[in-house]
Structure 1
Amino acid sequence: MTPASLLDDPRFTGLIDAARALQPRTVALRRQLHKHPELGLDLPKSQAAVRHSLEGLGLRVSTGESCTSVVAVLDGENPGPTVLLRGDMDALPLQEDSGLAFSSEVDGRMHACGHDTHTAMLVSAARLLQSRKGALAGKVVFMFQPGEEGEHGARFMLDEGVLDAAGRPVEQAFALHITSTAPSGVVMCRPGPMMASADAWTVTVTGKGGHGAMPDRAVDPVPAAAAMVGALQTMVTRRFSVFDPAVLTVGRITAGTTSNIIPETAELQGTVRTLSDAARALVQAEIPKVCEHLAAAYGCTSEFRIDTGYPTTTNDAAVAPRVLELATRVLGQKNSALMPEPLMAAEDFSYVLQQVPGAIAFLGACPPGVTPEEAAPNHSNRVHFDESAFAHGVALYAAFALDALR
């Protein structure tokens, strides 16, 4: 459906106004969650807040067994397919320094990635869609998930059957992710790779310890480890196409206990991010190869371990353009933008998109008084999101379901 034809669709009339009317509820829930952040897969307070906010809407609500998830199902008044809308709920282990009046009340925990905003917007979208369920030919699954920040929460919910929660399989899925470094209210999306895969790796280099005054009687693993840092970066530039890139970072090097001892081992830890399964497989094969041969050149041995993270987040070629069309219709042309390139961060909505055609889009929420370039980014202890953007997120969530369930 094109933006021009959407103009004549009565289901979208007044959608943004309805979302703005819900703004006090959206903001109140967001601030409640922001003050009480929880980490990982166990979010009892967040789960309870979501369940309370959904009371009285006539939804079929269930909770997870392996994690503190919430699944709510809205039945339209006519039969049809099923769509899924996702919001994540977990925070980050970070001390908040934003200065907000509703800052975190828990030391060392903060909603620095905006998951509190995602949850609040999705609850308001459920409320908005419930008021228009007569226009829905099908069902909507609202997926409130814990553990997005590295804990594979979406995978837990998939294993527990979230895609079949409505009684028939989900056929399309959509999620929003807020960002402080884009103009407030602007929706950005693209078909194909949207976000990267992310894997953590460790290389242990083993030599022979000894006295710092007599290196010839030892086998020093430190120079070997140091050489690996540069060699791995060269490997990326020589073995990978610029059109199918890999981003490799050595984030930590540890060795030794004091200045006059040559240690027996040195350890490198890092991450690697790619935008395709082929590049991901290649980099996982090349890192141990480079390190093994460099270690041998220095008389050492090496051991490689990898902690597999999230896969590439890939938007459906048909769904992503439709998200931008909906944003144009509901929010206006200036608030819909084709994202020119993927983001190399990772997202566990990728697990959902591996099984169901769908898309994730970014929602700009740069705070007033600063430019997107100046704004503290997501995962910063000072990040701040413009709350006026929430109505755009609520309206777009609702529009996606209304458009899919004709």
Structure 2
Amino acid sequence: MHACGHDLHVAGLIGAARLLAQRRAEVAGDVIFMFQPGEEGPGGAEPMLAEGLLEAAGSPVVAAYALHVSSAGQPLGMWFGRPGPLMAAADEAVIRVLGEGGHGSQPHLAKDPVPVACEIVLALQLMVTRQFDAMDPVVVTVGRITGGTKDNIIPDDAELELTVRTFSAGNRERIHPAIERVVDGITAAHGMRGEVHTVMGYPVTVNDEDEYAFLRETVGALFGEDRHYEMPHPEAGAEDFAFVAQAVPSAYVFLSACPAPDPAAAPDNHSPRALFDDSVLGDQALLLAELAIRRLANPR
């Protein structure tokens, strides 16, 4: 179960729709409400855009806004985000090292892919730190490594599965050929072959600077300036709203629904122990509705 607060998102958006219906005379244009049928993989924003989401009102969308609740990190009711890059692009890569199996007692008669796979794991970390600017981060994490069936059998192959996170389009374009170079070079050095299968996931989520400034101003007007925290750095999670942000000026913000007295120690959204305080629902609905009213009243 992926229960990281999406029930609150749906309820908050319904609340915004009700508020706007009640204040219809104040709405100087059309508003599209985006209820994602899914967030992970291809089930969310991307197919909705392909099906005409942004043309649903019959007139061009001028801006888009989104929020996500958080079960940790900030005190209850705090809004937080930043202009520019907010969340990372998230891609996957599967690496297969092709050797030749044999008996564990005679490795010289085989081509053992297991230590070569281990060498690739370490080399990928070195590649990231020595080929990419630390001020424009890249994260390559090997989340799965498999090979073999028994202690004394050298397998024919070994496999690595990676998540690849980048915070700029440039590094996203560079990182995948760099991974392939590492795999090709190390496997060739040991007389083997390597295969890399890449699955491109979500792009970088980028907040439009003007739209985020407008969102922050609206948060201050509704809730007070002390209810907003500007994140110094983007976070390495990923978000399919990034596809919307590529198509229209957008702003995305987080809202703490953390019920714990110590947010730093609270379980985060993807923990099975995560807890959400739904008292923030009214604030969610109010901000989304007010953003729509104010933005349509002030076209740019």
Q: TM-score range by the shorter chain?
A: over 0.9
Matches of 2:232 and 2:17 in 1, distance apart? 31
Query: Could you list the runs of 4 or more consecutive aligned residues of structure 1 that deviate by over 3 angstroms after TM superposition?
Result: none
Matches of 1:264 and 1:311 in 2, distance apart? 35
Q: CA deviation at 1:152?
A: 4.2
Check 1:180–1:242 CA distance in 2 against 1; reply closer, same or farther (3 A cut): same
**Where do 1:7-406 residues align within 5 Å?**
92=2, 111=3, 113-181=4-72, 182-368=74-260, 370-406=261-297
AA aligned opposite 2:32: V
Matches of 1:227 and 1:198 in 2, distance apart? 24
Matches of 1:389 and 1:131 in 2, distance apart? 20
Matches of 1:175 and 1:209 in 2, distance apart? 52
Report if aligned partners of 2:114, 2:147 keep a CA contact under 8 Å in 1: yes
Q: CA deviation at 1:189?
A: 2.1
Give 3-state SS (helix, strand or coil) of 1:286's partner. Answer: helix
Q: CA deviation at 1:326?
A: 0.6
**% identity of equivalent residues:** 48
Report if aligned partners of 2:15, 2:282 keep a CA contact under 8 Å in 1: no
Higher normalized contact order (CA 8 Å, seq sep 6+, divided by chain length): 2
Q: Which moved more, 1:141-150 or 1:309-318?
A: 141-150
Q: CA deviation at 1:172?
A: 0.4
Matches of 1:189 and 1:128 in 2, distance apart? 24
Q: CA deviation at 1:151?
A: 2.9
TM-score normalised by length of structure 1: 0.72
Matches of 1:371 and 1:178 in 2, distance apart? 17
Deviations 1:179-212 (A, max 9, x none): 1112111111211101100001011001111011
AA aligned opposite 1:264: D
Could you tell me which runs of 5 or more consecutive residues in structure 2 were left unpaired when the two chains were aligned. none
Report if aligned partners of 2:138, 2:166 keep a CA contact under 8 Å in 1: yes
Report if aligned partners of 1:324, 1:338 keep a CA contact under 8 Å in 2: no
Matches of 1:140 and 1:118 in 2, distance apart? 17
Matches of 2:40 and 2:270 in 1, distance apart? 11
Give 3-state SS (helix, strand or coil) of 2:229's partner. Answer: strand
Report if aligned partners of 1:324, 1:336 keep a CA contact under 8 Å in 2: yes
Matches of 1:217 and 1:382 in 2, distance apart? 50
Q: Which residue of 2 aligns with 1:21?
A: none
Aligned length: 296
Deviations 1:32-81 (A, max 9, x none): xxxxxxxxxxxxxxxxxxxxxxxxxxxxxxxxxxxxxxxxxxxxxxxxxx
Deviations 1:323-347 (A, max 9, x none): 1111111011221121211111000
Matches of 2:99 and 2:277 in 1, distance apart? 53
Matches of 2:38 and 2:27 in 1, distance apart? 30
TM-score normalised by length of structure 2: 0.97
Matches of 2:46 and 2:80 in 1, distance apart? 25
Matches of 2:144 and 2:209 in 1, distance apart? 38
